[in-house]
A and B are shown apart, each in its own frame.
Chain A
Amino acid sequence: MLSIGNRATNKLCLIALIAMLGYQPAVAETWQSHAPNSTLEFAASYQGLPINGRFNQFSVTSFTDQLEQPTQLNVAVSITSADMGSSEFNQAIQAADWFNVDDFSEATFSSQQIRPATKESDKTMFIAHGILQLKGLRKSIAVPLSWHNNSSDQATITGELTLDRSDFAIGTGEWASGDQIGLAVRVWFTVQLDKIND
């Protein structure tokens, strides 16, 4: 005869088993960004007019399961490589009230979960939920992206999102209000991923 406690234990065991099966490491493929064919761009704004910039150095690592679905996305961005098209901007954004590159030279994004963006059979649109670490601050963000296989060992991912610079203390003090330099910053990327053969 089973007690209530035992029943609960059995149930827990079952849940644990299902969970283990669910999270059993799939036959993973590793993908790595190919820098010459990859861009990571952003647009700040002044009075609603865009000021475009780009990060010249960044890398993306991704894993896919046996169904060729992305399961993990890791991004590392060299903040010192930010280029906003003029020496004035490039000098200014390094300062403490903007990116403070002396203390925070790298930003990272690590996905915690990647879900299909639609319920339909479309297997190209995903949303990567994860943590963006920027200027030493961490925040959950969702990165919508499309995954397009160019060949069996090359893919291109593209995506676009909007960040609020005040979430990461970028542009503090007299710049904080967003009256001149807008708070919303559009970020978009096109990354060529090459499958890494073990």
Chain B
Amino acid sequence: MTLQNTSDQWGWLSKVFHWITAVLIFIQIPLGYYADDLKLSPLKIDMFVWHKSIGMLILMLVILRLLWRIKTTIPSAIAGTVLEKSLAAAAHYALYCLMLALPLSGWVISSAANFPVKLFWLIPLPAISGPDESVKLLATEVHEVCVVTLILILIVHIGAAFRHHVLLHDNALKRMWF
């Protein structure tokens, strides 16, 4: 397995980025809803430290992934209709946007709510907004709309991967697997 992507196969670095991010997002979404539902308690604060820590980790990985994506070749689109290819491209584009917007809006919520954060109980995260109720409410709206959109697109993304693998028998899923 090569480091670099080729025209028909993802390289191992892109695969590692994809699957680590996938696992983190699958932890992150339920964790966010769970922590949000808890009444204010030390447990809630700890759960949000996990949520914020994982969120910042995802943000960092997505930035590195985008830099790598710019630097390396991208495997060509799987055979399909123009509409299918456009939809796939749009979904991938939206996923990248959401993977940036969610941690960034979460960071704004945390900052505007005046809550200091130490990522993984170690690294202080600087505030990117002063305490501000209206900024917090706006960022919360963005965060909520983004997460619902992300869930919907992930359903399509995963559904499409299985459709390619199970029904169309092409290598869409295989070329992202190890």
Which A residues are within 8 Å of any B CB, using their own CB? 46-47, 49-52, 84-89, 92, 174-175, 179-180
Does B121 lie within 8 Å of A47, measured CB to CB?
Answer: yes
Does B133 have its Cβ within 8 Å of any Cβ on chain A? yes
Does B114 have its Cβ within 8 Å of any Cβ on chain A? yes
> Which 8 pairs across A and B sit closest by C-beta, in order of nearness?
A85-B131, A85-B114, A49-B116, A86-B113, A86-B114, A47-B118, A92-B40, A180-B42
Which of A47, A87, A175, A179 is B116 in contact with, Cβ under 8 Å?
A: A47
**Closest chain A residue, CB of each to CB of B122:** A47
Which of A51, A86, A174 is B133 in contact with, Cβ under 8 Å?
A: A86
CB distance from B167 to the nearest CB of A (A): 48
CB distance from B119 to the nearest CB of A (A): 11
List 20 contacting pairs A-B, 8 Å CB cutoff, sorted by A. A47-B116, A47-B118, A49-B117, A49-B118, A49-B124, A50-B116, A51-B116, A52-B114, A85-B113, A86-B112, A86-B114, A86-B133, A86-B136, A87-B133, A88-B40, A88-B113, A92-B40, A175-B42, A179-B42, A180-B46
If A46-B116, A49-B116, A86-B113 are given as contacts, then 5 extra A-B residue pairs at C-beta distance below 8 Å, sorted by A number, are A49-B118, A51-B116, A86-B112, A87-B133, A89-B113
Q: How far is the CA of A51 from the CA of B113 in the complex (A)?
A: 10
Q: How far is the CA of A88 from the CA of B46 in the complex (A)?
A: 16
CB distance from A71 to the nearest CB of B (A): 39
Which of A49, A89, A174 is B41 in contact with, Cβ under 8 Å?
A: A174
Does B118 lie within 8 Å of A180, measured CB to CB?
Answer: no
CB distance from B101 to the nearest CB of A (A): 22
CB distance from B96 to the nearest CB of A (A): 31
Does B114 lie within 8 Å of A51, measured CB to CB?
Answer: yes
CB distance from A25 to the nearest CB of B (A): 46
Q: How far is the CA of A50 from the CA of B116 in the complex (A)?
A: 7
A50: chain B residues within 8 A (beta carbon): 116
Q: How far is the CA of A47 from the CA of B118 in the complex (A)?
A: 8
Which of B45, B121, B131 is A86 in contact with, Cβ under 8 Å?
A: B131
B46: chain A residues within 8 A (beta carbon): 180
Does B42 lie within 8 Å of A174, measured CB to CB?
Answer: yes
Does B93 have its Cβ within 8 Å of any Cβ on chain A? no
